[in-house]
Structure 1
Amino acid sequence: MADTKFKLNTGAEIPALGLGTWQSPKGEVQKAVAHAIKSGYRHIDCAYAYGNEDEVGAGIKEGLKAAGISRSDLFVTTKLWCTYHTRVEQNLDSSLKALDLDYVDLYLMHWPVAMNPNGNDEKFPKLPDGSRDLVLERKHWDTYKDMEKLLSTGKVKAIGVSNYSVKFLKDLLARVETVPAANQVENHPLCSPLMQDEHVTKLAKEKGVSPGCILLSYHVARGIAPLPKSVTPSRIDENRQIVKLSPEDVQTLSDLSKNGVHRFVYPAFGVDFGFPDKQ
């Protein structure tokens, strides 16, 4: 089950289980990525904004050598950052250089939000009042149209989006030619801590795996590729214990959200762009 793959609209296959690298401590990312690849992971997710693509790249090189596989056996995703919405290829080139790769398999727009490229910080420019220095007149579909041009360069195999609501997707699809290959979002039952939920722990005991594996298995069963983040070798290995869930098991977990959800990744600038409420 851990080696499950899903077919994208490009015809390419994306491994269902990937290693996330957001907020992974500096100095530990390389070892985590290398270990993951040696352990069987074939999908690595990163982003320019995470500030650790150089370590991810070193880990990829180490992991490929240790696993005895080639670059084409690995699926790598990275993301365009908000201060580069008018400099799409420049940001991609920066990521490729840091990763020491010729191409990425999937390039995503990190947020449908442009920030001032000439602001007081390269990644997180702020206004005097402390709020994000946004460029409200820059439309996310214009940024995506620039991303479409990358497809002919060979530097990306597919493009997509991240943190898009249904409204933003509808606005985008009405104006662009290339349907996004993926929309990477925060997604879990309830969108709240579930490791101690009685339904989750019961299934974990029945299947002989951890509660975390049950939640990862839930996503795979629904055709979603989860990206668990860890720098601990034993946890990285444990997360590969994806199990088969019955339709009844999946429904039980889905029902956990019947009383509402709660997002954790919800920046303050979401209000300015009409993002759906985090509740």
Structure 2
Amino acid sequence: MKALSAVLLPAALLAIALLSLPTNARAGGLVECNNCVSPRDAALPSGAGLTVVMDFERARLTAFNVEYDREFRKWRALPTPVPNQIQMAFLRILDGTSAFAKERNHASPNAGGGTVVTLHPDNPGNSNGVNFPDSYKSSTTFDIVNSATMRTRLGQYLATELAGANTGSPTWNGIALSIQQAALNWSSMKGGGSITIIITWRDGSKTLYRITPENVGEAKYQNGESRDGTGNMVPDESIADPITAPSYAGEYYFGREGDLDRWARSAQMYGVPVQRGDSSRMSCSWDGRTVYCRQY
């Protein structure tokens, strides 16, 4: 019993010592150390392996390979570079807490708080550092609305890409998602806490996705925010929700060929009756239970 106590006591003291450090928060390969004087010293208690020190106040990521030096009988932290795409992802989230980001979000009220990323399939020169998936470049918002598989796969791709979890290293990819979660949690205390992705497709239609700390592994499609190339709301699950369905009541004009047919198919897929006609205009009404639409 005494021998067991001798083993447990040092371990307990070490745990207490680590918890008493006021500026460092450990999360499996990650250490938070704001306004960090010595990132190397902050990394040492994390144990063997790759450790990233996150300094949110100074917007810095510093990485170390921590190992035990048997010759000198002490731990040492060897600097190692953080992949560029992970650095960019970290800074992108912190930028979402700035005054500039708040002004930008005010101009795009549907985006909510936090970071806003605008994407286009033909993004020239990869200007925002985010690669668009080749298999989706010819898609439209109608394709996304009408296919649960496409919605989910695109959301997973966007989350991975925006976290920088595309390094080719499983270790770095896992850490990238953890960094994104930690950064979003921190920015939520500063007026941010999410990444809103606004996709403008080649036909001019738009789709919104959002990444939050609760699910950094998949960007979530935002119901009721899709628009066709003319700016009309595109029917999705929100047209069958009594809370959001009334927003579909009104007059519609379809400027692009085929959009009215695609709109009607989407509406009918969610249980909304559409009376067809010959014009490019349509009127929708809400009777308190269901949306009804009539093409002129």
| Normalised-by-shorter TM-score class | under 0.3
Query: Between Structure 1 and Structure 2, which shows a larger proportion of strand residues?
Result: 2
TM-score if structure 2 supplies the norm length? 0.26
TM-score if structure 1 supplies the norm length? 0.27
Which is higher, the Rg of structure 1 or of structure 2? Answer: 2
